[in-house]
Structure 1
Amino acid sequence: MLAGGRILSRKMPWQRPMIPWALLTNWDLGLIFYTECATGMSMFSVLYFCNIYFIAVKGNGSDKAGLQLVYFTPGIGVGVYLCMFLCNRWPRMTFPPLFLVFGMMALVGCGMGLRFMVAALHGIGIFKPHRASVIGLMAVAVPFGGTIGLTIMSTVFNNASGLDAKHSDFSRLQDQPDGSREQAINDAKMGVVWTFVAIVPFMVVSWFCCFFLGNVILGGKSAVDEDGNQDIVIKEPYLWSLLRGMRMLEEEKGIRLESSHCREGFKTTSNEDSHA
Structure 2
Amino acid sequence: MIKYVYQQVRKHTQTSQQSSPQRLTTPNSERSGWILGSPPRGNCTTCAAESRAAYLKSWGFLLGLLPAYFVASLELTIVATALPEIASHFNKFDQLNWPVTAFTLTSTAFIPVFGQLADTFGRHASLQSAAVISLIGSIMCAAAPSWPVLLLGRALQGIGAAGIDNVTMIILADQASLKEQAVNMSIFQLLNGFGYSVGPVIGGNLTKADWRYCFALCAAIVFLSLFTIFSLRGQLKPGKISVLHPSNGQSRTKALVQGLSTLDYVGMFMFMAGVCLLIMGTTWGGATFPWDSAAVVSCLVVGGVLITLFVLFEYLLEPGRILSRLFPRTIPMIPASLLHRKDIGIICFIAVGAGAAFYSIFYFVGIFFTLVEARTASEAGTKLLYYIPGLGIGVYAAIRCCNYWPGQTFWALFMGTIFQTAGIAALGAAVNLRDETFVAVMMALTGAGTGAIFMPSNLHLAGMFREHLAPAYSLMRFSLPFGGTIALAIMNSVFQNRLGDISGGTSGANNAGAANSQWRDSIDAIVSLPEALQGAIRSQASTAVMWAFISIVPIVALATVMAAFLGNVWIPAETTSSNAIVEHTGGTDENGYCEKHAASNIGSSVAVPEAIEMSQMNGADSKGTSTEAGRCISSIYLLELVRGRVKDLKSTSVREVGEASGGLYSTV
Please tell me the residue identity of whatever aligns with 2:471. S
Matched with 2:368 is 53
Contact 1:53 1:192 in 2 (8 A): yes
1:120-157 deviations in Å (ceiling 9; x for gaps): 21112111111111222111111111110100000110
TM-score by length of 1: 0.83
Shift of 1:15: 2.6
SS of 2:550 mapped into structure 1: helix
Taking a change above 3 Å as real, the CA distance of residues 124 and 175 of structure 1, as seen in their structure-2 partners, is same
> Contact 1:56–1:174 at 8 Å: present in 2 too?
no
CA separation in 1, counterparts of 2:574 and 2:410? 20
1:27 shift after superposition? 0.7
Counterpart of 1:62 in structure 2 is 377
Q: Deviations over 1:162-210 (max 9, x none)?
A: 1665334445434421221111111101110110111111111111101
CA distance in 2, matches of 1:154, 1:110: 25
The answer as to 2:636 corresponding to 1:237 is: yes
* Distance in structure 2 (CA, Å) of the matches to 1:192 and 1:225: 55
Aligned length: 249
Please give the TM-score of this superposition, normalised by the length of structure 2.
0.36
Is 1:132 aligned with 2:470? yes
Indicate whether 1:42 and 2:380 are aligned. no
Q: CA RMSD in A?
A: 2.3
Alpha-carbon displacement from aligned partner over 1:221-249 (angstroms, at most 9, x marks no partner): 2888945351311111111111111899x
Match of 1:186 among 525, 539, 556: 539
Identity %: 38
**Is the alpha carbon distance of 1:127 and 1:199 closer, same or farther for their aligned partners in structure 2, counting shifts above 3 Å?**
same
Residues 153-162 or 5-14, more deviating? 5-14
Decide which moves more: 127-136 or 140-149. Answer: 127-136
Indicate conservation of the 8 Å contact 2:637/2:646, yes or no.
no
Does 2:428 match 1:76?
no
Q: Which residue of 1 aligns with 2:124?
A: none
* Structure 2 gap segments, 5+ residues each: 1-315, 424-441, 502-515, 576-619, 648-668
Moved more, 197-206 or 74-83: 74-83
Mapped to 2, the partners of 1:247 and 1:97 lie a distance apart of: 18
Would you say 1:114 and 2:467 are equivalent positions? no
Name the counterpart of 1:265.
none
Range moving further from structure 2, 76-85 or 141-150: 76-85
TM-aligned CA deviation for residue 25 of structure 1:
1.1
- Going from structure 1 to structure 2, the CA distance change for 1:149 and 1:227 (only over 3 Å counts) comes to farther
Structure 1: give runs of 5+ residues left out of the alignment: 249-276
Identify which of 546, 549, 554 aligns with 1:201. Answer: 554
Is this contact kept in 2: 1:39–1:145, CA < 8 A?
A: yes
Measure, in 1, the Cα distance between the counterparts of 2:564 and 2:644. 16
Measure, in 1, the Cα distance between the counterparts of 2:524 and 2:562: 40
Structure-to-structure mapping, 1:238-257, within 5 angstroms: 238-245=637-644
The 1:224–1:121 alpha-carbon spacing in structure 2 relative to 1, beyond 3 Å, is farther
Specify whether residues 130 and 192 from structure 1 end up closer, same or farther in structure 2 by C-alpha distance, changes over 3 A only.
Answer: same
Q: Hey, what's the Cα distance between the residues in 1 that align with 2:347 and 2:622? A: 25
Corresponding residue number in structure 1 for 2:402: 87
**1:151 partnered with 2:494:** no
